[in-house]
Chains A and B, each alone.
Chain A
Amino acid sequence: MSDRVNIRRLATGVPGLDNLLGGGLPEFSFNLIAGTPGSGKTTLAHQIMFSLANADNRALFFTVLGEPALKMLRYQQQFPFFDIDKVNESIRFVNLSADLLDGHFGHVLARITEEVKDFSPCFVFVDSFRSVVQSGKGDTTKGMPDLQRFIQQLGMQMTSWQATTFLIGEYLAEESESSPIFTVADGILWLSQNLHRNSVVRKMQVVKMRGQSQATGLHTFRINDEGIQVFPRAIIKPGIEAGSTIAESDRERRIPVGVPGLDEMLGGGLPFGYSMLVVGPSGSGKTILATQFLAEGVRRGEAGVIAAFEKSPSQLLSKQLNAMVADGKVGVIDTRSLDLSIDQILHDLIEMIGRLQAKRVVIDSLSGFELALAPEFQEDFRVSLYRMIAELTNIGVTILMTSELEDRYTDLRFSPFGSAFLADAIIVQRYIEITGQFKRVTSVVKVRGSEHSKDIRFFDITDEGIILGETLSEYDGIMSGRPTVSQ
C-alpha cells in the first residue's frame, strides 16, 4: 500500500476549478487546454501559472502561434493574479515564433527542450497551437502531418520532464476525436463560449483527467476583473440521496413556518430539510408567507438567505424583510444579471448559507428565477432546478419557493414549470369569488411522508401578516375559483 505512487494534487488557484478536476491538478500531468478563439484559454493558463509558480517552483511560458506576446502581456496584466514580481524570477516568458519561421517544427522542439533544461521549471506552458486540420478537408493539407507529429513528440517529451505541463491550443470540437494529442494528454480541459439567442455563456468541460474522478458535464465559468471563476454544476452524488447528510435527530424535526395555524395544517410544521412550494396568483401573499418563514427563523436564531428575483434590491421587499437584512440575519443574493446560470446562483447561495450558517432559504420566485437565467439555461430549467434543490436540501437547509399561478378559474395548476413534483410540500393560495367578493383561500396540497390537513381555509393579509380564517366546509369547487354551496 505504502509503495504505491502517491500523486500530489496541486491547487490551481482558479475558484471552483479544483472541484471540477476532482481535487486539483495531478502533479507531473500533461494537460491540454483546448477551445475556440476567445474562450479564455490563455487567461486560464496564466491564472493557474501565477498561482502555482514561486521561487522554488518555477514556470516557463512559451508563446508560439497564439496572440502576439506583447498583447498577451498587456492584457493579462489587467488581472490581479498577474504578479509582476514573479516575472523573470519565477516565471519566464519565451517567444518561439523565430524558431518557427522556416516552418520546421524540429527547431521549435529543440528550443523548447533547451530552455526547459536551462530553467528547470516545475510548470511548462506552450501557447498555442491552432490545429491546421480543418474539418472535412482532411489530410491533404500540407504540413499537417508535421504538426501532428510535432505535437505528439512534444506531448511525449513533456511527460518526461518531471514538470506539470500544459499545451494550449485552438481546436474545433470535431477534431478532438481525430487528434492523437487527445490520447496522449493526461488531462483535457475544454473551454467554449456558446451563443444562444442574445446571450453568451462560457462553459468548461473536463473531458479527461487521468486517475481522478472529475466532475463530468459542462460547467459554466465567468471571466471578470478578477479572472476566471468556475461554477461546478450541481450534481447529485451517486449514493447520496437528497437529505441523506442530515443528522438522524434532525430528520424528525419540524420547522415552524411562522404563520399561526399553518403549522397544524402541515401536520406540525414543515419537516426539516424539505423544499416547499407556495403557489398562487399575483398578490395572493406568497412573498408575505416567505417573509414570515424567514422571520420565524430569525426569531429562533436561525439565519436565512433569500434569492429575490421579483424585485430589484433597491426597492427591496417589505420593511420587515429589510430590517432582517440590515441586521445581517438574512442574506440577499444578487440576482440583477439576466445572464446567470443556475450554478452561479447555487454557488452564491451555498457560499452565503455557509457564511451565515443559514437554515432557511427562500427562492422568490421560480418564475423570476427562470427569467434571470440566460436563455440557454431556461430550456432545462426544470432539470437544473431539481439538481439545485437536491444540493441545497442536502446541506441541511429548508427551502421555501414561490411560484406564480396563472389566474385560471376553470382548472387547477400548481406550477407552470411542472416543478410541483420537485417540492416535498405544496401550499396553494387562491382567489375565489364568493358572495360578490374576492376572497383568499389556502390549502396544503402535499407534505411528503406526513399527515396534513385537507382543509381549505380563508385567510387575510393584515399588518401582522397572514391570518388564517375558518374552514370552507359548505362549498364545492373552491379551487376552480367558482365555488357552489354544497348540496
Chain B
Amino acid sequence: METSGRSRHQIIQSLTEQNTGNVAATAINQWELMAAQIISIVGEGGFNALYLRSAFLASSIFPWLATPSLSIQVDDRFANLRTSLEGQTPEQASAANGLLLITFSDILASLIGEDLTTRILRSAWDIDAPSQAGKEFNHE
C-alpha cells in the first residue's frame, strides 16, 4: 500500500519536474488528460467535486489558487487554473500545480483505493509499467 502510494506521488513528482518549459500550458494539458479519464468513469459531477475540494485544500499554501471554479465551458474547464498559474513564476506555478495534483489524487485514492487511482493516472498520462515510472524518477 505504502509503496504504491509512493509510486503515485513519484509519477506526479516526475511529471512536474519534467515540466520546465511553459509550466501553465503543460500543467493544463496534464489536467485535461486526467480529467478526461476520470470524468468518463465517475462523471462530471464527481470530478468537479474532487477538484474543488483539492483546490480549496491547496489554497491554504498557495492562496492564489483560491478561485478555482471550473469554467462552464467543458472544452476549457481549466481556464481559471491556467490564468492563476500564468500569473506566477514558473517555480511557484510548478510547486502549486504539483501540490494540487497530489492533493487531488490523494482524495481520489482515499475514495476508490490506491490501486485503481494509480491505474487511472497511468492510463491518463500514458505511463505503462510501474518499473518505468521508477526508472524515470531515478534518472532525474
- Which B residues are within 8 Å of any A CB, using their own CB? 39-46, 50, 74, 111-113, 115-116, 119-120, 123
Contact = CB atoms under 8 A, between A and B. Distances in A.
Contact of B42 (A69, A84, A88): A69
A282 interface: no
Nearest to A97: B43
A73 B46 CA distance: 12
Interface of A: 63, 68-71, 73-74, 77, 84, 87-88, 93-98, 101
A94 B40 contact: yes
Contact of B43 (A63, A77, A84, A87): A63
Nearest to A61: B41
Given A70-B112, A84-B113, A98 B119 contact: no
A84 B120 CA distance: 11
Secondary structure at the B interface, as helix, strand, loop or mixed, is helix
A95 B113 contact: no
B40 to A, nearest CB: 6
Contact of B116 (A68, A87, A94, A101): A87
B112 A73 contact: yes
B41 A84 contact: no
Contacts of A69: 41-43, 46
A84 to B, nearest CB: 5
Contact of B46 (A68, A77, A84, A88): A68
Secondary structure at the A interface, as helix, strand, loop or mixed, is mixed
A97 B45 contact: yes
B97 to A, nearest CB: 23
Given A70-B111, A74-B111, A88-B123, A97 B44 contact: yes
Nearest to A101: B44
A70 B111 CA distance: 7
A98 B45 CA distance: 8
Contacts of B45: 68, 97
A74 B108 CA distance: 10
B58 to A, nearest CB: 20
B44 A73 contact: no
Nearest to A94: B40
A73 B43 CA distance: 12
B42 to A, nearest CB: 4
Contacts of A95: 39-44, 46
14 contacts: A68-B45, A69-B41, A69-B43, A70-B50, A74-B112, A77-B112, A84-B115, A93-B41, A94-B41, A95-B39, A97-B44, A97-B45, A98-B44, A101-B44
Contacts of B119: 84, 87-88
Contact of A70 (B40, B42, B115, B123): B42
